[in-house]
Amino acid sequence: MDKIKRNERIAAMMHAFITRPGHYLSLNEFTERFGAAKSSVSEDISLLRRVLEDFGLGTLHTIVGAAGGVKYVPAAEGEPVDAFLDELGETLLDPARILPGGFLYMTDILCRPDAVSRIGDILAGRFREKEPDFVVTVETKGIPVAMMTARALDCPLVIARRDVKSMEGSVITINYVSASSRSMQAMSLPKRAMPPGKRALMVDDFMKGGGTANGVRQLMAEFGASLVGVGVLIATDFPQEKKVQEYTSLFTLYGVDEAREHVELHRTGKKSG
Amino acid sequence: MDKIKRNERIAAMMHAFITRPGHYLSLNEFTERFGAAKSSVSEDISLLRRVLEDFGLGTLHTIVGAAGGVKYVPAAEGEPVDAFLDELGETLLDPARILPGGFLYMTDILCRPDAVSRIGDILAGRFREKEPDFVVTVETKGIPVAMMTARALDCPLVIARRDVKSMEGSVITINYVSASSRSMQAMSLPKRAMPPGKRALMVDDFMKGGGTANGVRQLMAEFGASLVGVGVLIATDFPQEKKVQEYTSLFTLYGVDEAREHVELHRTGKKSG
């Protein structure tokens, strides 16, 4: 291929970074692919970083040295993220979402690729410093957002199942008490899903009593893994005492009033009035 | 914001397209955001398209007119896609994947964000002309790849559940016969998951007899939706007669020989010798 012009390099490099967030790409890969000097590629990266930061889209993170490289870190805060979360919060307040029993229908949001991609980027940002090796979730509704969080962190997803499927080989099953219904539940993970000594981040769509998260902690212990964080889209305000001590939620649900057709939900830490 | 330089525009536009594949962005959005003339933005788009096509990364598709715009279509064929699928095929041949009963462990691949993103892009490419409004899958293992296919098509995902959850309101449940085990199965979808008259694309990780796909067709009929395609990562060669007539698989599994520790699998349509 002929020598690539600067604009073309810029375009191709942006594509490479955005297509695989969180993944380190080496400068050598770019210099070879584009037949460009290292100094030129470094300048390109500075420009890309500036554009990402100026538009609130994220940044490029550099590790220097032989094993070094550059990775794209999607924005997890700032103006566009705030605007997205505010709009999402508005959507969740729609009384048409109220289900019998005071539940909130949100499956539609959890299945919109553009929405879950952004939620995943934001949750990833809250836990990047914990350096998780895996994202773990329990089937079913939380899988898309957990997948997108794993994507933003460039680490694999692990899905615990509620029923034991023979098609995945030997499994480890734990029993745990559901905090809300006080009933016994089980979750399983194939033995080969996770080598020992790993750091796991749990991601789910919703948390009430934290029983599921506590179950995941037990399950991770069985795999010799440590649970380094719990991140959910929505946590209920009640009960205040959850079965896990530390967790992060993007929204807090204060109540669903079926009779008055009213949902009270705020961005976590931003309840006003 | 000051007037943006050309290479900065190029970078920001590439970000916008790649972040939301399949979604039409209007030229006006770009001219306003960057304070640039329409002719300049058009030139930028030509350059971006050329770079994407030259590197085998996909293309930009333009619709002209008032409701027009430009969208990113990820590559679904060509050299990088072939290289990816060939490597994926090699990975699947590993005898360590053989599970008791002649099943193949592939959960790890189905949970690697980089792999499922690419598989989703490729499956999306096979069905883009069918213009699906929804991607539908049945829990659990196929969800990540179905989500990524939906992402590449910029349409929502719908997940049919095997058990009926009260938290999603009224559901429609159908019963169907599993082709392989000849047992009765059920799958459910919330009534509000899909308005009538839609076009659905089923995506799953694996197909043997096609019973699940046939169940999805019944379920879609209950929702007044038509099933416009069935796409799976791997289909077994046996039985040749599936319960659905038309489907597309990226790989065909000819057999898993537990005793000889041998997997026979080829890219569909590319069995050689």
Domains of chain B: 6-74 (1.10.10.10), 79-267 (3.40.50.2020)
Phi, then psi, of B109 in degrees rounded to 5: -70, -40
Structure letter (DSSP) for residue B96? G
What SS3 state is found at B247?
A: coil
**A51/B8 CB distance under 8 A:** yes
**Mutating which of B140, B185, B187, B234 best tests the A interface, going by the most A Cβ atoms within 10 A?**
B140
Averaged over B102-117, what is the pLDDT?
A: 94
Averaged over B107-111, what is the pLDDT?
A: 94
pLDDT band at residue B9 under the 50/70/90 scheme: very high
Is the pLDDT score of B167 beyond 80? no
Q: Give the tokens for residue B240.
A: 């040749």
Query: Nearest CB to A12: which of B20, B55, B99?
Result: B55
Q: At what angle do helices B38-54 and A6-19 cross, to 10 degrees?
A: 70
Of A165-179, A204-218, A228-242, B236-250, minimum mean pLDDT range: A165-179
Query: Nearest CB to A105: which of B20, B101, B192?
Result: B192
d(CA B273, CA B270): 10
d(CA A140, CA A146): 10
| B73 CB-near residues (< 8 Å, 6+ apart) | B21, B22, B58, B59, B60, B61, B125, B128
**B107/A8 CB distance under 8 A:** no
Query: Nearest CB to A103: which of B8, B117, B167?
Result: B167
pLDDT band at residue A273 under the 50/70/90 scheme: very low
Averaged over A109-134, what is the pLDDT?
A: 97
Which is more confident, B146 or A65?
B146
pLDDT for the residue B180:
72
Q: CB of A201 within 8 A of CB of A234?
A: no
Residues of B in contact with A105 (CB under 8 A): 168-169, 190, 192
**B18/A14 CB distance under 8 A:** yes
Phi, then psi, of A16 in degrees rounded to 5: -60, -40
What SS3 state is found at A68?
A: coil
Residues of A in contact with B159 (CB under 8 A): 107, 111, 140-141
The answer to whether residue A124 neighbours chain B at the CB level (below 8 Å) is no
pTM of the model: 0.96
Instruction: State whether the Cα torsion A83-A87-A92-A94 is positive or negative.
Output: positive
Residues of A in contact with B6 (CB under 8 A): 7
Q: CB of A188 within 8 A of CB of A172?
A: yes
d(CA A161, CA B146): 18
Is the pLDDT score of B105 beyond 50? yes
Q: Give the tokens for residue B41.
A: 């933005």
CA angle at B131 for the pair B127 and B135, rounded to the nearest 5° = 70
What SS3 state is found at B58?
A: strand
pLDDT for the residue B272:
62
Mean pLDDT of chain B: 93
How many Å is the Cα radius of gyration of chain A? 21
Averaged over A155-167, what is the pLDDT?
A: 85
Query: Nearest CB to A7: which of B7, B140, B155?
Result: B7
Q: Give the tokens for residue B143.
A: 């969800």
d(CA A51, CA A237): 39
pLDDT for the residue B165:
65
Of A181-195, A256-270, B10-24, B118-132, minimum mean pLDDT range: A181-195
The answer to whether residue B227 neighbours chain A at the CB level (below 8 Å) is no
Q: Give the tokens for residue B80.
A: 């990088």
E strand or H helix at B51: helix B38-54
Phi, then psi, of B102 in degrees rounded to 5: 80, 20
Count of C-beta atoms within a 10 Å radius of residue B257: 12
**If we measure between CA atoms, which residue out of B131, B199, B225, B159 comes closest to residue A112?**
B159
pLDDT band at residue B144 under the 50/70/90 scheme: very high
Mean pLDDT of chain A: 93
Averaged over A147-162, what is the pLDDT?
A: 97
Of A93-107, A133-147, B213-227, minimum mean pLDDT range: A93-107
| B40 CB-near residues (< 8 Å, 6+ apart) | B6, B9
Query: Nearest CB to B14: which of A14, A116, A143?
Result: A14
Query: How far A138 CA sits from the closest chain B CA (Å)?
Result: 10
**If we measure between CA atoms, which residue out of B87, B110, B103 comes closest to residue B256?**
B103
Query: Nearest CB to B19: which of A18, A51, A158?
Result: A18
**Which B residues 143-172 touch A at CB under 8 Å?**
143-144, 147-148, 150-151, 154-159, 161, 166-169
**Mutating which of B50, B134, B136, B159 best tests the A interface, going by the most A Cβ atoms within 10 A?**
B159
Count of C-beta atoms within a 10 Å radius of residue B133: 18
Averaged over A23-37, what is the pLDDT?
A: 93
**If we measure between CA atoms, which residue out of B152, B146, B163 comes closest to residue B202?**
B146
Structure letter (DSSP) for residue B209? S
**Mutating which of B1, B9, B20, B51 best tests the A interface, going by the most A Cβ atoms within 10 A?**
B51
pLDDT band at residue A1 under the 50/70/90 scheme: very low
**A108/B166 CB distance under 8 A:** no
The answer to whether residue B186 neighbours chain A at the CB level (below 8 Å) is no
Averaged over B46-52, what is the pLDDT?
A: 97
Q: CB of B157 within 8 A of CB of B116?
A: no
Query: How far B272 CA sits from the closest chain A CA (Å)?
Result: 28
The answer to whether residue B25 neighbours chain A at the CB level (below 8 Å) is no
Residue with the two structure tokens 């193949």? B104
Is the pLDDT score of B273 beyond 60? no
Query: How far B245 CA sits from the closest chain A CA (Å)?
Result: 25
pLDDT for the residue A102:
81
Q: At what angle do helices A113-127 and A79-92 cross, to 10 degrees?
A: 120
